[in-house]
Structure 1
Amino acid sequence: MAYSIKNQEGLYFLTFTVVQWVDIFTRPVYKDIVVDSLRYCQEKKGMELFAFCLMTNHLHLIARAAEGQLLSDIVRDFKKYTSRQVFQALHLNQQESRRSWLEWIFRQHGQENRNNEQVQVWQQHSHGVELRTPTMVQQRLHYTHQNPVRAGICYRAEDYLYSSASQYAGLETILPVTLL
C-alpha cells in the first residue's frame, strides 16, 4: 500500500524499507552514507529532521520540509542518491562477503521497476503518516526510538548510535535533530 505525502507542509512519520527487507545496514560504511545524506538534506535541501532511527533494513524519520520545499522531492532525491551510493560502496568495500548476492538483489529489483535505471535499494513506496496531533507525534517518536530496543540491539534507546534517541536523552549524537 502506498502512503503518499499529501500535505507538503505537514509533519510526517516516514519509513523507508530496503527491497526484500535485505539487511544492508549492518556495516558502518552503508549506515554512514544514510547519515551523511540526511545531514545534507538538512543543510541543503530544506529537510527539518526531528527524529531518526536507522535499522538494518529500514529507516524511520520524523520530518517535514521547510517553507517553499516539497517533502516528496526531498524523499525522492534522498532515496535515489543513497541507493546509488550504497550500490557503489558495495564495489569499494573489500570486506563485503555478500557482494554478489546484494548486487543481484538490487539489480533484479531495478530491472523489474520501470522507474529505475538499473538498481533499486529502497522499496518504491515510502510509508508516510502525517502527524496531526501531539499524541500522534509522541507515539511515533517513542516507536522510532524504541525500535532498536525491541529488536534486541540495545537495552536503552539512547545507547543506539544510529538514532536521535541519544540527543533526546541529552547525550551526544551523530546527527543533530530539532527536538520536538
Structure 2
Amino acid sequence: MSTKYRFSENDIPHFVTLTLIEWIDLFSRERYKEIIIDNLKYCIENKGLIIYAYVIMPNHIHVIIKSVEGQELSKIIRDFKRYTAKILYTTLKSDKRESRRRWLLRIMEEEGQKSSSNKRIKVWRHENHPVALDTNKMLDDRLNYIHNNPVRSGICFRAEDYKYSSSCQYCGEIGLLPISFIE
C-alpha cells in the first residue's frame, strides 16, 4: 500500500502513530501496555531508537522518535510492530483473565486473513503516518499533543499523572522509559 507518509531522514525526530487494527482497545489493560514498554526499552537499548516523547493510549501509541546514526527508523518500527504483534497475540491467546479474549483473537485472525503481508494474524494497522518534525513549532505542537492526549480522552485530569506517558518526565519526575529531552 502506497502512502504519502514516509520516514525521511533518520537523524531528525519524527512524530509516529502506531494504531491497533479496528481501533481495538487492547491497551486498556495494563499487562498489554507493559509489553509495549518492555519492547520499547529493548529497541532503545539494542536497536538505536531514541524516544523524545510517548503516550500509550487504549488503541494507539504516539511517539516522537529518531534513530542513532547508521540505523533506519523505518526498520526499527517494522521490527517493533512485527515482534510485539506476536507477543501480544500469544499473550492474549493464553490470558484466561481477559474477558474479551475470543472477540479480540477473532478480529486479529480475521484481519490477518485479509492482509497481503501476513495471512495468520494482524495486530497493527499498516500505516504509521510518520511526520518529520523539522521546526521547533512542529516539535512543540506534537509534544503537547502527545502529553495532553490522555487528558482530552478523559483518562486523567493532568497529563503528568498518566503512567504510560513521558509527560511526568518533562515535569522532572521518573518515567517508565528512558527518554531524550527536546530542548
Aligned equivalents of 1:104 and 1:164: distance in 2?
33
Aligned equivalents of 1:154 and 1:95: distance in 2?
25
Q: How many residues align?
A: 180
Aligned equivalents of 1:118 and 1:126: distance in 2?
21
Q: 1:113 aligns with which of 89, 112, 115?
A: 115
Percent sequence identity over aligned pairs:
43
In the alignment, structure 1 residue 142 sits paired with structure 2 residue 144: yes
Aligned residue number for residue 75 of structure 2: 73
Aligned equivalents of 1:65 and 1:47: distance in 2?
5
Q: TM (normalized to structure 2)?
A: 0.95
Q: How does 1:99-178 map to 2 (within 5 A)?
A: 99-178=101-180
Aligned equivalents of 1:22 and 1:155: distance in 2?
23
Deviation at 1:117, TM superposition (A): 4.1
RMSD after superposition: 1.1
8 A Cα contact 1:19 1:121, kept in partner:
yes
Aligned residue number for residue 56 of structure 1: 58
Q: Residues 21-62 of structure 1, C-alpha deviation per residue, up to 9 Å, x if partnerless?
A: 110101111000101010000000000111000000000000
Q: Which amino acid aligns with 2:167?
A: A
8 A Cα contact 1:164 1:176, kept in partner:
no
Q: Helix, strand or coil: the match of 1:25?
A: helix
Aligned residue number for residue 22 of structure 2: 20
Deviation at 1:92, TM superposition (A): 2.4
Q: Which runs of 4+ in 1 moved over 4 A?
A: none
Where do 5+ consecutive residues of structure 1 fail to align?
Answer: none
Q: Residues 117-137 of structure 1, C-alpha deviation per residue, up to 9 Å, x if partnerless?
A: 411111011111000101100
Aligned equivalents of 2:26 and 2:69: distance in 1?
33
Aligned residue number for residue 84 of structure 1: 86
Q: Which amino acid aligns with 2:43?
A: C
Q: Which amino acid aligns with 2:163?
A: L
Deviation at 1:100, TM superposition (A): 0.8
Aligned equivalents of 1:73 and 1:117: distance in 2?
21
Q: Which amino acid aligns with 1:129?
A: V
Q: Helix, strand or coil: the match of 1:120?
A: coil
Aligned equivalents of 1:173 and 1:11: distance in 2?
20
Deviation at 1:11, TM superposition (A): 1.1
Where do 5+ consecutive residues of structure 2 fail to align?
Answer: none
8 A Cα contact 1:131 1:137, kept in partner:
yes
